[in-house]
Amino acid sequence: MIYFSTNKSSTPVSIKKATLEGLAPDGGLYVPSEIPRFSEPEISLLEGASFNNIAFAIAKKFTGGEISPARLDEMIEECYGFDTPLVEMDGSTFIEELFCGPTLAFKDYGARFLARLTGYFAAEDDRLITVLVATSGDTGSAVAYGFQGIPNTRVVLLYPSGKVSRLQEQQLTTAGANVHALEVKGDFDDCQRMVKQAFVDPELKSRLTLTSANSINISRLIPQSFYYAWAALKLKERDGIGNPIFSVPSGNYGNITAGLLARKMGFPIGHFIAASNANDSVTRYLDDGRYDPHPTVTTLSTAMDVGNPSNFARLRYFYGNDHRAMAGDITGIAVSDSETTETIQAVYNRFGYILDPHTAVAWRALELHRRSGHHPEMPGVVLSTAHPAKFLETVRAALHKEVEIPARLLAVLEKQKNAVAISPAYDDLATFLKELDN
């Protein structure tokens, strides 16, 4: 299996190079040269298989023999030692809970797999890889806990002091060992600027192998297809219903791109809803074929506040830039903040189930899609991307009640914060990185 750049001018590379580089040299995103297909008999064999067995079957095709099956199997076991529940709400609507990992958000699925692949490939060359990430919250915590204790890797996270929630700060600063947190006295843009400068600093380059772990890495995307395949097969085997419609709370559109991969591999998926908040650049494109990104606006579903989604380039690539074909498979629906709050209330009143604001956007979008008469025959799967306790203030304000905090979250709050305070001057970061080396 080889990987191309969406910009088509870089040389094709192996999964190893694509993983360690992240972005292609021509500025494009890596995509597989062809999407592996599962035949009908192969799919039937996977019905009733465990999550990890399905994950293994998919990962094996994408890594194309570059990792021994035994080692790949071990990695998958290490990644997904938690459940992926598929909760039945009514006879035709299900919630897939993707928040049972260590940081209570779906980004654990991608970050944990990327971390192990990075460590594996770095060890092959006897290298130490330094992962440098600027974060405003959620990605950083998944990366911190994903890379925690992975040999041949270490992580340096930059976050803006006082601008992340206490819970997020605890998740960023307590992973320990090979994970270093830098508390920058500035804002997120300062953090990003400093990281960008490090990547082009020739002196640092001669001393360290730097890589980023942002959502454009193909090895963060591949593992997100696992839970689509798992849910589609589980519905068929357990509930006797097929070809579900997935409603996906979308920000950078990595999650829905992974869903598309699962469908192209041959897993039984009927349709997709790209649910967005007021950041509706892709929603508008799906409507009229014009891509006219607007600046980012702040909403209640903060992890989806992206004005110009990076994975849109991959989506376009997979459809050969054919807007009609894309709109045939994916319906874009935007949901306002007031609808988000109403949905948290309505679903709680009807089912006693607490949605986080991102999941509420996806729930609402599915409801609107059905109300306008589309795909009445298809069961619906709403992807739940975060535990409601991660967005306590919003959920409390909607329900006027306390939200129970899971024990593993409370445990993180108890841990000792471990961060190095630095100024927003690049020299501070460069000095820290050089001293790390000694």
Ligand X SMILES: *Cc1c(COP(=O)(O)O)cnc(C)c1O
H/E element, 245: strand 245-249
d(CA 135, CA 141): 9
Q: Which residues of 11-46 are buried (b: 16+ CB within 10 A; e: fewer)?
A: eebebbebbbbbbbeeebbbbbeebbebeeeebeeb
Q: Binding residue for ligand X (CB under 6 A) from 75, 315, 386, 409?
A: 386
Query: Residue 72 or 347: which CB sits closer to ligand X?
Result: 347
Specify whether the CB–CB gap between 408 and 102 falls below 8 A: yes
Q: 270 in helix, strand or coil?
A: coil
Least separation in angstroms between CB 254 and ligand X: 3
Question: Contact between 249 and ligand X (CB under 6 A)?
Answer: yes
The span of 163-171, 182-190, 248-256, 315-323 binding ligand X (CB under 6 A) equals: 248-256
Query: Residue 190 or 356: which CB sits closer to ligand X?
Result: 356
Query: Residue 215 or 341: which CB sits closer to ligand X?
Result: 215
Least separation in angstroms between CB 14 and ligand X: 25
Query: Residue 240 or 295: which CB sits closer to ligand X?
Result: 295
How far is C-alpha 346 from the geometric centre of its chain's CA atoms? 27
Query: Residue 34 or 83: which CB sits closer to ligand X?
Result: 83
Closest by alpha carbon to 273, among 332, 352, 338?
Answer: 332
Question: Contact between 395 and ligand X (CB under 6 A)?
Answer: no
Q: Contact letters (x/-) for ligand X, 70-109, by CB under 6 A?
A: -----------------------------------x-x--
DSSP alpha helices (H): ranges in 372-423?
Answer: 392-399, 407-414
205 is catalytic: no
| CB-count burial class (<10 Å; 0-12, 13-18, 19+) for 91 | exposed
The span of 1-9, 76-84, 205-213, 251-259 binding ligand X (CB under 6 A) equals: 251-259
Question: Contact between 23 and ligand X (CB under 6 A)?
Answer: no
Least separation in angstroms between CB 390 and ligand X: 7
Q: Which of 60, 61, 107, 185 is catalytic?
A: 107
| Main-chain phi, psi angles of 29, to 5 degrees | -105, 140
Q: 158 in helix, strand or coil?
A: strand
Query: Residue 63 or 247: which CB sits closer to ligand X?
Result: 247
Pairing of strands 419-422, 179-184: parallel
Closest by alpha carbon to 360, among 332, 329, 391?
Answer: 391
Pairing of strands 30-32, 3-5: antiparallel
Question: Contact between 160 and ligand X (CB under 6 A)?
Answer: no
Specify whether the CB–CB gap between 341 and 314 falls below 8 A: no
Q: Binding residue for ligand X (CB under 6 A) from 251, 270, 380, 424?
A: 251
Question: Contact between 138 and ligand X (CB under 6 A)?
Answer: yes
Q: How many CB atoms lie within 10 A of CB 61?
A: 17
Tokens for 143, please give them: 């990366």
Q: Binding residue for ligand X (CB under 6 A) from 22, 32, 160, 254?
A: 254
| Residues contacting ligand X: total by CB under 6 A | 16
Question: Contact between 252 and ligand X (CB under 6 A)?
Answer: yes
Least separation in angstroms between CB 191 and ligand X: 17
The span of 15-23, 69-77, 236-244, 246-254 binding ligand X (CB under 6 A) equals: 246-254
Tokens for 231, please give them: 């849910």
The span of 42-50, 252-260, 405-413, 420-428 binding ligand X (CB under 6 A) equals: 252-260
The span of 72-80, 250-258, 287-295, 316-324 binding ligand X (CB under 6 A) equals: 250-258
| CB-count burial class (<10 Å; 0-12, 13-18, 19+) for 89 | middle
Residues in 341-360 that interact with ligand X by CB under 6 A: 358
Beta-strand ranges (E) seen in 268-328 are 271-276
Residues in 255-314 that interact with ligand X by CB under 6 A: 255, 303-304
Q: Which residues are catalytic?
A: 107
Give residues in contact with ligand X (CB under 6 A). Answer: 105, 107, 138, 215, 249-255, 303-304, 358, 385-386
